[in-house]
Amino acid sequence: MTSKAVTSNTMLRWGLYAVLILFALFYLMPLFVMLTTSLKSLEEIRTGSLLSLPRELTFAPWAEAWSSACAGTQCQGLRPFFWNSVLMAVPAVAISTIVGALNGYVFAQWRFRGANLFFAAILFGCFIPFQVVLLPMAQMLGLMGIAGTIPGLIFVHVIYGIGFTTLFFRNYYVTIPQELVRAAKVDGAGFFRIFFAIFLPLSLPIITVSVIWQFTQIWNDFLFGVSFSGPGSQPVTVALNNIVNSTTGVKAYNVDMAAAIIAAAPTLLVYVIAGKYFIRGLTAGSVKG
Amino acid sequence: MEWLERNVPKLVLAPSFVAILVFVYGFIAWTAWISLTRSRLMPRYEFEGIGQYERLFAAPRWDVAMDNLFIFGGLFIVISMVIGLMLAIFLDQRIRAEGVLRTVYLYPMALSLIVTGTAWKWILNPGLGIQATVRSWGFENFTFDWLIRPEMAIYTIVLAAVWQASGFVMALFLAGLRSVDTEIIRAAQVDGIPTHRIYSAIIIPTMAPIFLSAFIVLAHLAIKAFDLVIALTNGGPGYATDLPATYMYAMAFSRGDLGQAAASAMVMMMVIFAIVVPYLYSELRPRHDK
């Protein structure tokens, strides 16, 4: 290679890194701004710059966001709603994952006539805009007597989550050779015996994918939360939106930002700890093979 | 007993079968029916015809919502794909700290859109956000007030949505780039074909299915976009940033117009199906070529 070519190559590499770092800053900027704003006093926010570090650290906005920020006339902070989200997400994730695992096991290994059609119907259901079920679901939850309650929200999240969980497990179990099931059947093992002895022990990766996907979806959900929750059962996303748009009193941007970080923390934590599985969930079904 | 043994798989699927039948297909049918009645505050079941759809398409607010969907959806999809592809190709050049960069690009996808909207609302507010910051640096005339300008506010939603989803598109494309047969690439390199030609003539054409997947996922996100609009602009100023999803919600829960809500939901579903059905069909068709 001539020295000129080497120079232009080095320039190219520098340019490459410059672009990549510029984009990294673009993605990080909102998080940075949220964090620094949440640690500034209102006085400093008014006089300082968006991008500057706090001159004097204050954790008061965090305390207020957690336990006393007002949404309308209610001043309880995010705390009760954070726990609502936990109480809603944990059972909904567990139930939809268990149902998805069993469904996927049947679709992958116990084919019967009409199974493919049913699977297509489930897959189709993953793509509907939820707006199309919002009205009848509101009526149905009323009929069932669980409108505006956390069990109601759990029910909705399970129903509309099993499509994806079934897809995850089916695509995973399909790679396990059918001879294994056939041999186990010859040995006299039944449906559940085979599931618990052979399939479940192999399932840790896909259970992780399913749990992370469902948790992220349910924790971050806003549409079902705002449509089907009552005053005492609102999930954290709805409470965050109410706090931010609360018109009473002075606009406390630092409290808003602290509240936003608190609402985002659980899914962000999951992403940092188990990013690999998070990405697998995102790409499952959209990238084949 | 033997019957039970034989039918266990079907019995296991039965609850899901009933649930999907009732809560997906039954509910779609219910909404479709309501969209053909005179329902207002309460559902009424007497068939009326396509009056709700005529009212819907005559409503200026729905017009704005559909226009916004095409502006927002088009820009969101194109920009996310361009940024995603560019970042994926750049990251594919044996970059140091690739793992860290990937993590940084993708983390917004883990956030709730309400959080994203709240953050960008603060960054974009003209009084204390970017505009004020740049002015404080000495550029007194710098203006960046899209958030409060009716004709520009929709672009703030594009900006926030691209911020959230482009890293995900990058991950999709990067996985695609990595799955291209390295033998072919090495052979091309040996033949002295320049890198940009290798990408444009060999690698990118083999990734056509990934472009399609990314398009489907992004289009789906765009049509369902609701939380982000609520958090960032709440449909405003006025209803300048309404999307079909926020229109539907307003009709259903604040205007008490079930007929309009049902009709707009049905239109949303048809738009999604027009995009997704051909895709699903091609996915589910038995493959002979492998």
The whole-number pLDDT of residue B290 equals: 37
Residue of B nearest to A26 (CA): B163
- Rounded mean pLDDT of B125-147? 86
| Location of structure tokens 């390295």 | B182
Chain segment B210-253, per-residue pLDDT in tens: 888 889 889 988 987 899 999 999 988 888 999 999 999 999 99
B206 at A interface, C-beta within 8 A: no
B213 at A interface, C-beta within 8 A: yes
Angstrom distance (rounded) from CA B42 to CA B194: 66
Say whether B124 sits in a helix, a strand or coil: helix
Say whether A288 sits in a helix, a strand or coil: coil
Q: pLDDT-derived band of residue B287, with 50, 70 and 90 as boundaries?
A: low
**pTM, 2 dp:** 0.91
**pLDDT in tens for each of the 289 residues of chain A?**
556 666 778 888 899 999 999 999 999 999 999 999 999 998 888 887 888 888 888 999 999 999 988 887 788 899 999 999 999 999 999 999 999 999 999 999 998 888 889 998 998 888 899 999 999 999 999 999 999 999 999 999 999 999 999 999 998 999 889 888 889 989 888 899 999 999 999 999 899 989 998 999 999 999 999 999 988 899 999 999 999 988 666 788 999 999 999 999 999 999 988 887 877 777 664 433 3
| Location of structure tokens 């297509």 | A120
Say whether B82 sits in a helix, a strand or coil: helix
Highest mean pLDDT among A13-17, B129-133, B203-207: A13-17
Q: How much is the CA Rg of chain B, to the nearest whole Å? A: 24
Q: Which fold has domain B59-284?
A: MetI-like fold (1.10.3720)
Q: Is the dihedral of CA B52, B53, B54, B59 positive or negative?
A: positive
CB distance B107–A264 less than 8 Å?
Answer: no
Residue of B nearest to A23 (CA): B105
B82 at A interface, C-beta within 8 A: no
Interface test with A, best of B6, B113, B114 (most A CBs within 10 A): B114
A79-283 belongs to which homologous superfamily? MetI-like (1.10.3720.10)
Cβ-Cβ contacts under 8 Å between A and B: the total is 251
The count of other CB atoms within 10 Å of the CB of residue A52 is: 12
% of residues, chain B, pLDDT over 70? 97
Every domain of chain B and the residues it spans = 59-284
Every domain of chain A and the residues it spans = 3-58, 79-283
B93 at A interface, C-beta within 8 A: yes
Chain segment B159-195, per-residue pLDDT in tens: 999 999 999 999 989 988 888 888 888 888 888 888 8
Cβ(B231)–Cβ(B118) under 8 Å?
yes
The ipTM estimated for the assembled molecules is 0.90
Tell me the average pLDDT of chain B. Answer: 89
Nearest-neighbour CA in chain B from A49: distance (Å): 5
Angstrom distance (rounded) from CA B110 to CA A267: 6
Highest mean pLDDT among A110-119, A197-206, B78-87, B97-106: B78-87
CB distance A257–B119 less than 8 Å?
Answer: yes
